[in-house]
Amino acid sequence: MEEKLQKKQITKQDIEELQTKIAFFQHERFIHLIVTVAFAFFALAFLALGMVSYIFLPILFILLIFLIFYILHYFFLENHVQYLYKIYDEFILLVNKTQK
């Protein structure tokens, strides 16, 4: 997509393909948001259980490690969706300039 943008040769098919990729990224981002919130909820639950009995603390630490990686991956997805939005906006501006 970046190469096509630099060459300034954008077609309607390129725009539709980019919209499809954005939709896939948005879906992936939404699923990971749900999983991240679920891991956060379970981590909080095991934190509360860990205060009652120390046997739950190893599970809490495992959940926290997974939670950290899910948060990092979610930010990765978010940044790439924002990048695709930027490219999409540039595509639209380029198409509008060529039509005038």
For residue 35 the two structure tokens come to: 């999983």
| Stated pTM of the model | 0.76
Q: Is the pLDDT of residue 1 over 80?
A: no
The per-residue pLDDT for range 36-82, each reduced to its tens digit, is: 999 999 999 999 999 999 999 999 999 999 999 999 999 998 998 99
- The pLDDT score that the predictor gives to residue 34 is 94
Please report which confidence band the pLDDT of residue 100 belongs to, taking 50, 70 and 90 as the band edges. Answer: low
Under a CB-based contact definition with an 8 Å cutoff, are residues 95 and 10 in contact? yes
Instruction: Count other Cβ atoms within 10 Å, centred on residue 18.
Output: 20
Cβ 24 vs Cβ 31: under 8 Å: no
Model confidence over 25-38: pLDDT tens digits? 899 989 999 999 99
pLDDT of 12: 81
Residue 2: its pLDDT value, please? 73
63 exposure class (CB count in 10 Å sphere: 0-12, 13-18, 19+): buried
CB 81, CB 22: distance < 8 Å: yes
Angle at 86 between CA 81 and CA 91, to 5 degrees: 120
